[in-house]
Structure 1
Amino acid sequence: MKKSRGKKSLILFTSLMLVASMGLSACSSKEKDAASSSGSGDAPKKETVEIQFWNPFETDRSKKVEKIAEEFNASQNEIKVKVLGNQDDQKQLTAISGGAAPDIVITYWNKVGPWAEAGAVLNLDEMIKRDNFDTSQIIPAALDRMKVGDKIYGFPISMSMANKLFYNKKMFADAGITAPPETLEQMFEDAKKLTEKDGSGNITQIGFIPDYPWIDNVFWPIIFGGSWDDGNGKLTANQKANVDSIAYQASYYKEFGNEGIAKFKSGMGKMETPQDPILTGKLGMMIGWENWYIDNRGENGEIGVAPFPYPEAQPELKNAGMVSPVAMFIPAKGKHPEEAWKFMQYLLSEDVQIEYAIAHGSIPILTKALDNPKLTGNEKMKTLKDFLESAKSPNLKGFPNSIYIDEYLQSLNEETEKALLGKISPQEAMDTVVQKMQPIADKDKK
């Protein structure tokens, strides 16, 4: 990591007095005073700058952030980082808006767009260019979430990723399924084999529910190669890939019945509890994130892990997946932006990224860290091995950041739900989203 010492102190010029009788040179009294105050004859001692580093994490997780800050503090004497945890987005925004902004903040990535548009987030482009910071070392899908348009307003400190299929091994064996599906078409057929009903026609176990544990209007279009804008302000939610992704999800409701699935879901247990449906053999398959079911995966675990299936006609979409990074940014009204930027670069260094990933059980955002033996050889990261490897995939994407991101996602959610229940067609759903959101996007572009 490149370090900068800030402004150099003024060089003290001293006058020499020739002492003829002794033939010696002596320092003037001013010279002695300066040397005494600085500890050397070159420069006065520079005061340590304290910066505030806020994060939204609760105590235990915040302590892991604090440990990294303490290591940074011990590595140099120019900057002292003070960590404050349990500062959620509302507390962060209140402080920033009220003129008491911290110097660097960890938050959720979808806050960066709206807050940047409001002038609360410092644009980092000049600092990046000035210090020749290499942004190409960041996983592209993670870095893209930090951009509004083509401007960078923050960096990811870690990322989560959904690009796996989790499946109940026993259910597969009982149904005679010898391997996880590779394509979406195979997954649909396997889901039928895994679904059972009682004598009254009630579903007693089901192979797959596309909107469990929630409707995901980002993950599914990515699996089909879709997008939400063209990069120039035109919204593309109603393109064929996005529509196809909803139609595929709706096919499960057509197959198993809206009422049947709704009734089954109402009696399902919650995730990662003793009544969890994928652990109890009530649910055969689900979308898998890297930090779910850690204790139930692996060779002896109940849950198998496989690449999420791709459309049979589009094998180029293998290893597609959704990226959701945790962001860090510098508030525009922070008192010490330069010191915050130095600390941010420290957090993006390879060793620190590996330390952070191991401590939090997350995926580092540096491509070179993904193959580092310190990470891959760590026993705590064993269950993340498949995710670390697939983090290199060029088919990883995420939702674009913008001032209207929350409204856009909400509109997608509402219309997708209608389409899954058969109230409107997938094409009508996405056309409605674009009709509603395009005027807002146009206004933002101006």
Structure 2
Amino acid sequence: MKTTFLMTALLVMILAITACTPQSRGAGKTADGKTVFEFWTFWGSETRRPVIEKIVSDFNASQDKIEVKHVYLPWGDIWTKNLAQIAAKNPGDVIINDIASVNQRASKKQNTDLSAYLAKDNIEDRFFPQLWNNVMYDGKAYAIPFNTDTRMLYYNKQAFRDAGLDPEKPPQTWDQLEEYAKKLDIKKGNTYERIGFHPLFGDFGTDNWLFNADGGEGYFAEDGSLKINTPGKVEALKWIKSWNDRLGQKNVDAMKAEFGSKQSDPFISGKVAMIMQQGTFATQIRDYGKDLDVGVAPVPERTTGSGHWSGGGGFVAEIPYGSKHPDEAWEFIKYLTDYDAQKYWAVKNFDNVANVKASDDPELSKNEIYKASVDNLKVTRQFQVPLSAPDYKNLINPQLDAVLLNNADPAQALQKAESDVSALMKQNGG
């Protein structure tokens, strides 16, 4: 009995070790001699997976030396596994990763310096300059931009008409935004059937409003100095809080509790007349709000001339450090970010791509919202995560929340956030 138990336990251990041992990716060859490698993404939806797999299939058919295998891994899991495989010296060969933290991975030797490849294939001019800036570390590129996004103001034109507003003249400043919102509010008794606008409904967080109010200045200046506690950001916090005060926190919370997706989206369902959303929000309107008469406009500026600053992010194609097939991976990345693949991705997903020529394609420009989103990239900021404060938002966000919950003064909260981030940077040698 004891012997049987020990043998069973040993077998379980062997199976566990075998399961945890990564299979070598260095010897992949097809029968006809093609090099096989893995391309990791988190695009597994019924919308995006067929698109990326068609791009992969087209690449495989375009030449006879490389065969790319698309590997889908869930959001979040993909990057955990990537780091584990890099540590095991057996990563995939191309991965889609976050654009804001390219420099973080480069500083930790988790992605590949692409300088040698760019020296022979200089493709920098394909991309929007602000996106290219975000793939740089120590003067070298460690990734290639794939896609990006931007936030704009969506507004219900019929609601504008009903409220006596010109649907062809959306609000341009914060004062106009509030003026329009009050006219668009529909209140019955003590509750709202429709709220004209709220700064934090949709996809434009507090931090976005803070740099919108501050001339596009983020939390960190280019010289590394902190720009958290500034007059513009203090005023922005006060302004956001004023919406809760005017509408009533209970009303705001009650309205948010009714929000859902698809037909239950607050804008599509008519519960909100103006909302901040990404360009890709147009696909939800297309699918679930076909009767809506929709307009889009840049983010209103704090005051005339201060700038219609918006926020964006995006993803890049990287070669993980230790890839067994970096040369072949580079050939695929060139294809993935060239005109044809980028246009196909944009057309099928209504997504902002990093390739300038593909973004300006006439077929895409026919769509009013897509063209507006491309134009909006000119005033869209993307920020790198600072090397000496990778977790800076964990120090700032609680202070912002405290203000909106009436538990802190805006200036004091931002001062506390700046002091905390400064201490973190000093601790990390920054």
For the aligned pair, the TM-score class normalised by the smaller chain equals 0.7 to 0.9
Which of the residues 49, 54, 59 maps onto 1:62? 49
Measure the CA separation in 1 of the matches of 2:413 and 2:165.
Answer: 35
Measure the CA separation in 2 of the matches of 1:203 and 1:321.
Answer: 28
Does the CA-based 8 Å contact 2:282-2:369 persist in structure 1?
no
What is the deviation of 1:119? 2.0
Inter-CA distance 148–428: structure 2 relative to 1 (3 Å threshold): farther
Measure the CA separation in 2 of the matches of 1:81 and 1:373.
Answer: 30
Does the CA-based 8 Å contact 2:202-2:277 persist in structure 1?
no
Which of the residues 391, 397, 416 maps onto 1:432? 416
| 5+ long unaligned stretches in structure 2 | 1-31
Does the CA-based 8 Å contact 2:98-2:316 persist in structure 1?
yes
Paired position in structure 2 for 1:257: 248
Paired position in structure 2 for 1:115: 105
2:71 aligned with 1:84: yes
Does the CA-based 8 Å contact 1:218-1:398 persist in structure 2?
no
**Aligned-partner SS, 1:181:** coil
Paired position in structure 1 for 2:11: none
Paired position in structure 1 for 2:295: 304
Measure the CA separation in 2 of the matches of 1:217 and 1:96.
Answer: 35
Paired position in structure 2 for 1:170: 158
Q: Return the letter of the residue paired with 1:176.
A: G
Measure the CA separation in 2 of the matches of 1:374 and 1:177.
Answer: 32
Which of the residues 269, 280, 295 maps onto 1:291? 280
CA displacement 1:107-126 (0-9 Å, x = unmatched): 23345344333321123234
Paired position in structure 2 for 1:192: 182
**Aligned-partner SS, 2:281:** coil
**Aligned-partner SS, 1:133:** coil
CA displacement 1:143-182 (0-9 Å, x = unmatched): 23333465432122111211x1112233322222223212
Q: Return the letter of the residue paired with 2:375.
A: E
Inter-CA distance 255–151: structure 2 relative to 1 (3 Å threshold): farther
Does the CA-based 8 Å contact 1:279-1:303 persist in structure 2?
no
Measure the CA separation in 2 of the matches of 1:215 and 1:421.
Answer: 18
Q: Return the letter of the residue paired with 1:155.
A: I
Inter-CA distance 343–276: structure 2 relative to 1 (3 Å threshold): closer
Does the CA-based 8 Å contact 2:146-2:355 persist in structure 1?
no
CA displacement 1:22-50 (0-9 Å, x = unmatched): xxxxxxxxxxxxxxxxxxxxxxxx95322
Measure the CA separation in 2 of the matches of 1:444 and 1:152.
Answer: 24
Q: Return the letter of the residue paired with 2:407.
A: K
Paired position in structure 2 for 1:13: none
Q: Return the letter of the residue paired with 1:97.
A: A
What is the deviation of 1:291? 1.0
**Aligned-partner SS, 1:228:** coil
Measure the CA separation in 1 of the matches of 2:175 and 2:424.
Answer: 37
What is the deviation of 1:405? 6.3
Pairwise mapping of residues 183-222 of structure 1 onto structure 2 (< 5 A)?
183-199=173-189, 201-213=190-202, 216-222=205-211
CA displacement 1:94-136 (0-9 Å, x = unmatched): 33333320011012334534433332112323432x2251424
Q: Return the letter of the residue paired with 1:70.
A: S
Inter-CA distance 370–110: structure 2 relative to 1 (3 Å threshold): closer
Paired position in structure 2 for 1:48: 34
Q: Return the letter of the residue paired with 2:326.
A: P
| 5+ long unaligned stretches in structure 1 | 1-45
Inter-CA distance 293–436: structure 2 relative to 1 (3 Å threshold): same
CA displacement 1:330-355 (0-9 Å, x = unmatched): 10111112221222122222222212
CA displacement 1:300-335 (0-9 Å, x = unmatched): 5243322221122325x14x3212112221101111
Taking only aligned residues, the RMSD between alpha carbons, in angstroms, comes to: 2.7
Inter-CA distance 350–344: structure 2 relative to 1 (3 Å threshold): same
What is the deviation of 1:54? 0.9
**Aligned-partner SS, 2:383:** coil
Measure the CA separation in 2 of the matches of 1:135 and 1:417.
Answer: 40
Q: Return the letter of the residue paired with 1:125.
A: S
Does the CA-based 8 Å contact 1:113-1:148 persist in structure 2?
yes
Inter-CA distance 170–405: structure 2 relative to 1 (3 Å threshold): farther
Deviates more, 1:207-216 or 1:277-286: 207-216
Paired position in structure 1 for 2:95: 105
What is the deviation of 1:445? 5.0
Does the CA-based 8 Å contact 1:215-1:413 persist in structure 2?
no
Inter-CA distance 285–102: structure 2 relative to 1 (3 Å threshold): same
Paired position in structure 1 for 2:28: none
Q: Return the letter of the residue paired with 2:246.
A: E
> How many residues align structurally?
389
Inter-CA distance 236–104: structure 2 relative to 1 (3 Å threshold): same
Pairwise mapping of residues 214-363 of structure 1 onto structure 2 (< 5 A)?
216-224=205-213, 225=215, 226-266=217-257, 268-272=258-262, 274-296=263-285, 301-314=292-305, 317-318=307-308, 320-363=309-352
Paired position in structure 2 for 1:387: 373
